[in-house]
Amino acid sequence: MFHNDAFRVLDGQECRRLLGRVPVGRVVYTRQALPAVLPVNFTLDTDGSVLLCTSRDSDLVRAVDGVVVAFEADEFDAATRSGWSVVVTGRATKVTDPAEQARLSQAGPASWMPLRDPVVVRIASEMITGRELTGADAPW
């Protein structure tokens, strides 16, 4: 395998720190037996779960509730050829517990879109992986 000092695998703590720096990521899920990717704004819960807010009757909620999904966020700088990418994999569920709903209504995510009948979706952080590219000279 080719070794590259400009590339580094990130540990879970570093992945969570980086996720906390960006407001938008992508939910990767299956829609009608095909891969689908949807950009969403999000926050992290205290346990590292990804939280997003959407309409209760949205296609996204119907597709992901109770299903394992991936969530990806990143930040790149083309000029310096550097950046990072983090992927969280875990089961997505609607938050239905009244106490949890109350807590998240105060401290949880707010959708950037106007919503009717909002619901919070939690993506459990069952597996978290990340990579960082620290800048490299062009190979040519």
Segments making up each domain of the chain, as ranges: 7-134
Q: Please state, as a whole number, how many other Cβ atoms lie within 10 Å of the Cβ of residue 83.
A: 16
Confidence of residue 137 (pLDDT cuts 50, 70, 90): low
139 or 5, higher pLDDT: 5
Q: What burial class does residue 33 get, using C-beta atoms within 10 Å of its C-beta: 0-12 exposed, 13-18 middle, 19+ buried?
A: exposed
CA distances from 22 to 42, 51, 55, 120 (A): 9, 13, 22, 19
**pTM for this predicted structure:** 0.88
Render pLDDT for 47-72 as a digit per residue (tens, 0 to 9). Answer: 999 999 988 888 899 999 999 999 99
Instruction: Judge: domain 7-134, CATH 2.30.110.10.
Output: yes
Least confident piece of the model among 41-45, 99-103, 112-116: 112-116
Say whether pLDDT at 3 is over 90.
Answer: no
